[in-house]
């Protein structure tokens, strides 16, 4: 870190480490994927682990970045290649304080089938857009021969534009990025984006799907917003009891 570590910063770092472990334990990330949080005292910066598997992240692995994706302390450990996802979203969205990027398996199919949108099918994923999550097509910005990764400010800004004011954006052939006002809310949304995708695919096998209305998405999101701690502490206990944490 670039300056004295305060109690607020210490708490935020600890929660960010927990978020990494929960997302792995819940099957949202594996050896890849990452979660960040806006700096609690410097809103023009964000915290993100060094380039490593999320399940192995500790407090000492957390780095501080500016919105251009530059580490505040130079010559440190290698950062994630796609840190530009986080910086450009924080730059564009003042309401966002945490970002999760993952390749969760049930979500990816919705990024490559343009005729089927990822939409909310149950109250727990009511935060998803009733019209369907937007899809970021990297070919529109990097041409037909990219590696599909967001490895520059230009691509990060384009992704942030595709996200718009939504809570989630799918990335064609790649994964998704989910945003929220807090770490716990972002983790909740990342987990239930994956669960929602799984439920939608199962429902579609049975027949036409009845999706939540716009009014229902508002109502369910409002109610669930008071319940994030309920799942957070359950998932945290499971992650800490996992063999990976031993």
Q: What is the pLDDT of residue 4?
A: 62
237 in any annotated domain? no
The answer to whether 24 and 104 have CB atoms below 8 angstroms apart is: no
Pairing of strands 98-102, 34-38: antiparallel
- Look over the chain and give the mean of its residue pLDDT values, rounded to a whole number: 96
The answer to whether residue 29 is domain-embedded is: yes
Q: What is the pTM of this model?
A: 0.96
- Residue 240 belongs to some domain of the structure: no
The answer as to whether 244 is a domain residue is: no
CA distances to 20, 45, 51, 210 from 29, in Å: 8, 24, 14, 29
Q: Which residues are catalytic?
A: 82
Determine the 3-state secondary structure of 138 from DSSP.
coil
Looking at the domain assignment, is residue 68 inside a domain? yes
What is the CA 102 to chain-centroid distance, rounded? 6
Domain extent, residue 85, equals 7-231
- Does the residue 19 lie in any domain? yes
User: 2 pLDDT band (50/70/90 cuts)?
Assistant: very low
The structural domain count of the chain equals 1
Q: Is residue 1 part of a domain?
A: no
Residues 132 and 107: beta-carbon distance below 8 Å: no
Q: Kindly state whether residue 2 falls inside one of the protein's structural domains.
A: no
Contact criterion met (CB below 8 Å) for 185 and 228: yes
């Amino acid at each position: 870190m670039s300056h004295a570590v305060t109690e607020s910063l210490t708490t935020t770092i600890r929660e960010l480490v927990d978020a990494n472990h929960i997302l792995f334990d819940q099957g949202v990330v594996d050896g890849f994927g990452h979660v960040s949080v806006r700096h609690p005292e410097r809103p023009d910066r964000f915290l993100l682990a060094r380039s490593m598997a999320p399940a192995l992240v500790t407090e000492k692995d957390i780095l501080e970045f500016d919105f251009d994706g530059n580490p505040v302390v130079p010559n440190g450990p290698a950062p994630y290649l796609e840190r530009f996802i986080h910086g450009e979203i924080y730059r564009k969205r003042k309401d966002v304080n945490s970002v999760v990027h993952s390749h969760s398996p049930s979500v990816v199919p919705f990024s490559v089938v343009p005729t089927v949108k990822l939409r909310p099918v149950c109250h727990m994923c009511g935060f998803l857009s009733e019209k369907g999550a937007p899809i970021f097509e990297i070919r529109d910005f990097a041409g037909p021969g990219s590696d599909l990764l967001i490895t520059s400010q230009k691509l990060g800004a384009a992704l942030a534009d595709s996200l718009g004011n939504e809570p989630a954006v799918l990335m064609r052939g790649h994964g998704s990025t989910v945003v929220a006002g807090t770490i716990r809310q972002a983790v909740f949304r990342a987990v239930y984006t994956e669960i929602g995708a799984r439920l939608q695919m199962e429902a579609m096998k049975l027949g036409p799907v009845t999706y939540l209305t716009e009014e229902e998405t508002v109502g369910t999101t409002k109610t669930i917003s008071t319940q994030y701690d309920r799942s957070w502490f359950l998932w945290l206990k499971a992650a800490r009891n996992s063999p990976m944490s031993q």
